[in-house]
Each structure stands twice: as C-alpha cells, then as structure tokens.
Amino acid sequence: MDASAAKLIGMGLAAIGMIGAGIGVGSVWASLIQAVGRNPAAKDSVQTFAYIGFAVTEFIALLAFVVAILVYVS
C-alpha cells in the first residue's frame, strides 16, 4: 500500500476514538437535564459538575484528534 494512503486510513482509524467521547458527552448532558428536571433548585451546583464532566470527557475526543493530526503531520 502507498504510504500516503496508509496515512489517510490511519487518520480515519484514529477518529474512531471520538465515538466513545460522543456517547460520553451525550450522557453527561442527559444526566444534567434529568437532574435539573427532578430538582430544579440543584441547578447551580449540578451545573459545575456537568461542565467538569463535559471537559474531562471531551478530552478523549481531542486526544483522538491530536493523534490523527500527528499521523497527518509526521
């Protein structure tokens, strides 16, 4: 196989890691909506945790992207 073709396939494979992050981020926001729906008074305190959880989960997607870019640049 051509090396540049393998590179593109590798980039695509690296992007698969974003599936998990997508599920995770969705679950974070879904839980936030559920929690606020059940107890609207808790919104402020729950929101902080939701944003932290979002950032930590999103980090996985970014790692996948960084790996893809590294494959492209190297």
Partner 1 sequence: MRRARASRQSAGNGNTRTPADPSAGEEWDKHLAGLRRLAGADVKETTVASPLDQFTIKPIVPLSLGKLDISFTNSALMMGIAVALIAGVLVFSVRSRDLVPGRLQSVAELGYEFIAGMVRENVGDEGRKYFPFIFSVFSFVLMGNLLGMLPGAFTFTSHIAVTFAMALTIFVGITLIGLTRHGTHFFSLFFPHGAPIAAAPILIPIEVISYLSRPISLSVRLFANMTVGHIILKIFAGFVVTLGSVQFFILPGILPFGMLIGLTALEFFVAFLQAYIFTILSCIYLNDAIHLH
Distances (CA, A) of 74 to 1, 27, 37, 66: 17, 34, 48, 12
CB of 30 to partner 1, least distance (A): 19
- The distance of closest approach from Cβ of residue 39 to partner 1 in the complex, given in angstroms and rounded to an integer, is 19
Applying CB under 8 A, the residues found at the interface with partner 1 are 48, 51-52, 55, 58-59, 62-63, 65-66, 72-73
**Alpha helix locations (H) across the chain?**
3-15, 18-38, 43-73
Min separation Cβ 70 and partner 1, Å? 10
In terms of Cα–Cα distance, which of 18, 15, 13, 12 is closest to 57?
18
Which residue, 7 or 31, is less far from partner 1 as judged by CB?
A: 7
Q: Which is nearer to partner 1, 31 or 53 (CB)?
A: 53
